Chain A
Amino acid sequence: MQTAPAQARPSRPPMKGYWREYGWAYLFILAPVLLFLVFTLYPVASAFLMSFQEYSVMGSEWIGTDNYTRMVQDEVFWKSMRNTVLFTIGTVPVNIVITYGLSFFIFQMKNKWQTFFKATMYLPAVASGVTISVVWLAIYDPTNAGLLNRFIGLFGFDPVIWLGKSDTALFSLILMNWLGSHGAGIILYLAAMGGIPKSLYEAADIDHASGWSKFWRITWPLMKPTTLYLLVTGVITSFQVFISVYLMTQGGPNFATTTIAYLIYSTAFNFYEFGLAAAQSFVLAALIIVISIIQFKYFSSDVEY
């Protein structure tokens, strides 16, 4: 929101007055703008050119769209797309349902307990991706010393090679995501729930509305901005999932957990095919931008209350 009212502008010589009036503002944003030019704009442009070149320190060679052709002919690329989409579908909607459910239950509690549960559910978020991966690596230990194997052992199941088999590896990465931190989402949902006027529910009670219809007609529509925010950020994050793949499975077994972010890393820094990796990264960027724009369209139809 721009709230600054127009300021009185005494007449001055044009250029000198311009800098006197606006110079400070430009100085205040100078650092971010310079950083943007050097560390965002230049790299994006450079990566774009690189994606049409065979990169070499000695001098790159133009090869047209060869990198893109090679990319789409590569089976692993399509596998990584499939894995990334499966991972996103497997994590983001489920996490939103879990987050919403937990928020709904916490909302019924007294203030003191709300804070307690918020803090508990938030805690894993302060541990790094590396720490979380190391711990889950131990939980998924394929022997019967692994925590999860011990747990399913209680019900008489044999130990499972969670991360080492292609049919369970991706699911294992999804499962650890469900049990991660829902704290940030819960806090946003609770803030939104607290903002719903009580009068809406009272009016619904007078009309003898059921709990179900109150949820669908009052609560859910008013939660829409928060839900969409979690959806957008969740999709962007899960499209770039990397640390757990790198530390826990290295994309295996048989590329079952190779996500597109891991593929880009591995193309660039295991095989030093910078041009091909740049081409792959633009596909990822295009996907993320298209999805974000779709979400932004939803945002613009904001609910008023």
Chain B
Amino acid sequence: MKSRSKVIMLIVASVILVVWSVLTIIPMYWMLIGSVQDTKSAASFIPKMIPDVLSVAPYERFFGKTNVMRWLFNSLLISTILTVTNVFLASLAGYAFAKLKFPGNKAVFWVLLSTMMIPAQVTLIPLYILMIDVFDLGNTYTAILLPGIVSVGNIFLMKQYMSSLPTSLIHAARIDACGEFGIFWKVILPMAKPGLAVLAIFTFVASWNDFFWPFLVTNSAEMRTIQVGLASFVYADTTDFGALMAGATVAALPMMILFFSLQRYFLQGITIGAVKG
């Protein structure tokens, strides 16, 4: 009796999971398969789920009409810089909040943490005026990068992660007369590598996918990131289905490749710090 109901349960679960997986994947499939069908030719005027003629014409049109190589370069540059600064500064601060004793430790941490509740819309306008009018940084990499150098969310994650590292090793290093920065650099960072890897991956993906801020502070086609560029293409050319799907694919594919090659980090990394919050 018992095992029979278990088998039925397993079958029901499998069916539901397979159906939902298909629903989850269909938009991504539609994007990929739509990007290789030329809807401007008579052969496949209406895109098909399973096409009989494949074409690279949509990609040719997307690459021909836009600055996409420059956008990809901008995105790569910005995401790389922000990943390095976030990993370094968030782990440094996270370590200080988790392991060092100093007056104001808890107070400063809680003030920083509470800013996570403030929606971006509040700081947006003054930040925009500050960057564009006061610092005169409109349309520069500096303007895109500055507010994102280190995020409070990342500091929080690193604090959670650093708390779990053994304190005894820090004391041993202190007795061996390593400087405080030496302890961080030579003892803490090597121990924290798995956490840093997760932080790096999530920061890179988030920076690559970020839209709103780079969109606000850039106004020339050369300075756009791939996301901002794709959005501008949507506004300019909403009728070319194939080229739109090609653009969407170009923006998403690097992150998908990253996901498939580093799947383990993506799927395990989420639990760092999150549940115990």
Chain A interface (Cβ < 8 Å from any Cβ of B): 1-7, 21-22, 24-26, 28-29, 31-33, 35-36, 38-40, 42-44, 46-47, 50, 57, 101-102, 105-106, 108-109, 115, 117-124, 126-139, 141, 145, 147, 179, 181-184, 187-188, 191-192, 225-226, 229, 236, 239-240, 242-243, 246-247, 261, 264-265, 268-269, 274, 277-278, 280-282, 284-285, 288-289, 292, 299
Contacts and interface: CB of A to CB of B under 8 A. Distances in A.
A188 B273 CA distance: 11
Contact of B123 (A44, A105, A133, A138): A44
A206 to B, nearest CB: 15
A25 B92 CA distance: 9
- Pairs A-B, 3 closest by C-beta atoms: A128-B209, A24-B180, A43-B123
Contact of A128 (B30, B147, B252): B252
B112 A135 contact: no
Given A44-B118, A127-B256, A184-B270, A32 B248 contact: no
B115 A36 contact: yes
B227 A191 contact: no
A247 B184 contact: no
A6 B251 contact: no
B189 interface: no
Interface stretch (B8-16, B51-59, B190-198): B8-16
Secondary structure dominating the interface of B: helix
Contacts of A236: 117, 119
Contacts of B181: 24
Contact of B255 (A21, A39, A126, A145): A126
B252 A138 contact: no
Nearest to A5: B167
- Range, interface on chain B: 35 or more
25 contacts: A3-B167, A4-B101, A28-B92, A39-B147, A42-B126, A42-B130, A44-B122, A109-B17, A119-B267, A127-B252, A130-B209, A134-B248, A136-B27, A147-B26, A147-B30, A187-B267, A187-B268, A187-B270, A188-B271, A229-B277, A247-B231, A264-B124, A274-B129, A281-B125, A289-B117
